Amino acid sequence: MAESTYDLIVIGSGPGGYIAAIRAAQLGMRVACVEKDSTLGGTCLNIGCIPSKALLESSERYYQAGHDFAAHGIQASGLGLDLAKMMSRKDGVVRALTRGVASLFKKHTITGITGRARFLAPNRLEISGADVQIVTAPRILIATGSAPIELPIARFDGKRIVSSTEALSLPTVPGRMIVIGGGAIGLEMGSVWSRLGSEVLVVEMLDRLVPGMDTQMAAQLQRALQRQGLTFQLGTTLKSATADANGVDVGLKGPKGVSQERADVLLVAVGRRPYTEGLGLDVIGLTLDERGRIPVGPHYETAVAGVFAIGDVIPGLMLAHKAEDEGVAAVERMAGVAGHVNYDAIPNVVYTAPELASVGLSEDEAKRRGIAVRIGSFPYTANGRARSIGETEGAVKVVADATTDRVLGIHILGPHASDVIAEAALAIEFSASAEDIGRTVHAHPTLAEALKEAALAVDGRPLNI
């Protein structure tokens, strides 16, 4: 049986895994990366971030052509949708990026191994692919990510009851789609299909959408999505789901009691669970926590020496960039250089229209911690660029320490919030004060100016409202 030795073996080639592998190679390690799927890139590239953003873009353009072009004086008649083409474009984007990872591996001489990994010992893996091989390394990094949570009462059938994976490749536009889960994934997928013509109902257990994000902005986002045609039932849970040849019967229980709904497709997007199937963690004595996650120490080492874990499989926000930075930090620590993830400065984005992005503490969280804060807000209706492009929905909110003026959190609802938030994350990394942002020149006219104005508003002196 073939047996190879490396300095580091990474299990999983998603953003956490492949980035860790590349960083390790940069630091001079001999690295192998094991991937059970035929393409690299994990959930993010194949059935997550990338395909969803591609569809969000395509569907947004389709929606604007039908709804917003007229206001710009553009007459478009005979507007049609070729769903197969849209999907094919999405697949092309995914293919290009997964091939990109493969070429990065080649560039850094990282050995990619296709197959399922299983621990034989803390420094020994059995990989079952086309054939079986044994690989050993003094250090093994688990980056196996996560999978959609499946509800026992609504088992996925891939056709009528689906997870986000299938929702990214539906063969036709559903007449009616019910989405269980009002988080980022539910809202994004709901938006895609709503724009393409589905009647979408989003069902959420809590009394608000996108838990964890700024409360006011979550409400504003809901109103915006409602104006786009989505409907919502909050404080409502799924009670039953029965699929048949033509659709699915859905039983809901809400504040007003139980109700029965019928849909063509039921999308269950209630979260993701860490994926550790088949790894054989019990063989090396690793136990999972109550949520199936692998506990790790401050340098991402597990209870078993030489075995590390990062990303969705360990506690924390399930975000690709969090996994990436953890991968880099873990590998840097292994190499003896200082690697560190600043968990207070991790941006979180919902790619709806308008986009919702935030980094740092929310107003509620700051108050919960007993921190006296000052808040500055600035609406996009008062921003020149937003008006020029006709996207004035939303605002920027800056949360700053009342005594030191240090920026604790920034929350943005609006066009391109996902990009504007980058400046906010940088500010938090550098312990900037709201005044620092207010005194930094921002190009005019840009959406980013709204961030500067919100920072000035912390001091009660915005210039444009």
Partner 1 sequence: MAVDVQIPALGESVSEGVIVRWLKRDGETVAVDEALFELETDKASVEIPAPSAGIIAVLAKEGQTVHVGDVVARIEPNGAAKAAAPATPQPAATPPPPSPNPPAPATASAAAAPLSPAVRRLVDEHALDPAQIAASGKGGRLTKGDVLAHLNAPASDSSAEATPSAGPAASAEAPRPPTPYPHPDAPRPGASGDAIERVPMTRLRQRIAERLRQAQATAAILTTFNEIDMSAVMELRARFKTRFAEVHGVPLGFMSFFARACIATLQEMPLINAQIDGTDIVYNHHVHLGVAVGTERGLVVPIVHNAEQHAFADIEREIARLAGLARDNKLGIDDLSGGTFTISNGGVYGSLLSTPILNPPQSAILGMHKIEKRAVVVGDQIVIRPMMYLALSYDHRLIDGAEAVRFLVKVKERLEEPSRLLLGV
Minimum CB separation of residue 298 from partner 1 in Å reads 19
Judged by beta carbon, residue 418 or residue 440, the one nearer partner 1 is 440
Residues linked to residue 433 through DSSP beta bridges, in sequence order: 406
Long-range pairs for 298-304 at CB < 8 Å and ≥24 separation? 299/329, 299/330, 299/333, 299/339, 300/141, 300/326, 300/329, 300/330, 300/333, 302/142, 304/122
Count of residues interacting with partner 1 (CB under 8 A): 15
Minimum CB separation of residue 446 from partner 1 in Å reads 18
Q: What is the DSSP string of 210-277?
A: STTS-HHHHHHHHHHHHHTT-EEE-S-EEEEEEE-SS-EEEEEEETTEEEEEEESEEEE-S-EEE--T
Q: Among residues 416, 451, 448, which one has the least CA distance to residue 432? A: 451
Give, as ranges, the residues between 53 and 112 that touch partner 1 (CB under 8 A). none
Judged by beta carbon, residue 88 or residue 403, the one nearer partner 1 is 403
7 binds partner 1 (CB under 8 A): no
Give, as ranges, the residues between 367 and 426 that touch partner 1 (CB under 8 A). 401, 403-406
Judged by beta carbon, residue 226 or residue 403, the one nearer partner 1 is 403
Q: What is the DSSP string of 378-394?
A: EEGGG-HHHHHHT----
- CA 358 to chain centroid: 12
Judged by beta carbon, residue 328 or residue 456, the one nearer partner 1 is 456
Q: What phi, psi does 359 have (nearest 5°)?
A: -145, 140
Buried b (16+ CB within 10 A) or exposed e, 305-336: ebbbbbbbbbebebbbbbbbbbbbbbbbbbbe
Residues linked to residue 151 through DSSP beta bridges, in sequence order: 154
Give the x/- contact pattern for partner 1 in 422-461, rule: CB under 8 A: -------xxxxx-xx-xxx---------------------
Q: What is the CA radius of gyration of the chain?
A: 23
How many residues comprise the chain?
Answer: 465
Three-state DSSP at 124 gives: strand
Minimum CB separation of residue 373 from partner 1 in Å reads 13
Minimum CB separation of residue 440 from partner 1 in Å reads 6
Minimum CB separation of residue 342 from partner 1 in Å reads 10
Judged by beta carbon, residue 118 or residue 374, the one nearer partner 1 is 374
Minimum CB separation of residue 261 from partner 1 in Å reads 52
**Which residue among the candidates 67, 299, 340, 444 is catalytic per the annotation?**
444
Judged by beta carbon, residue 50 or residue 408, the one nearer partner 1 is 408
Give, as ranges, the residues between 197 and 236 that touch partner 1 (CB under 8 A). none
Active site residue 321: no
Pair of tokens at residue 121:
């010992």
Judged by beta carbon, residue 57 or residue 436, the one nearer partner 1 is 436
Three-state DSSP at 319 gives: coil
122's torsion region: left (phi>0), alpha (psi -120 to 50) or beta? alpha
Minimum CB separation of residue 422 from partner 1 in Å reads 17
Give the interface with partner 1 as residue ranges (CB under 8 A).
401, 403-406, 429-433, 435-436, 438-440
Residues annotated as catalytic (active site), given as ranges: 444
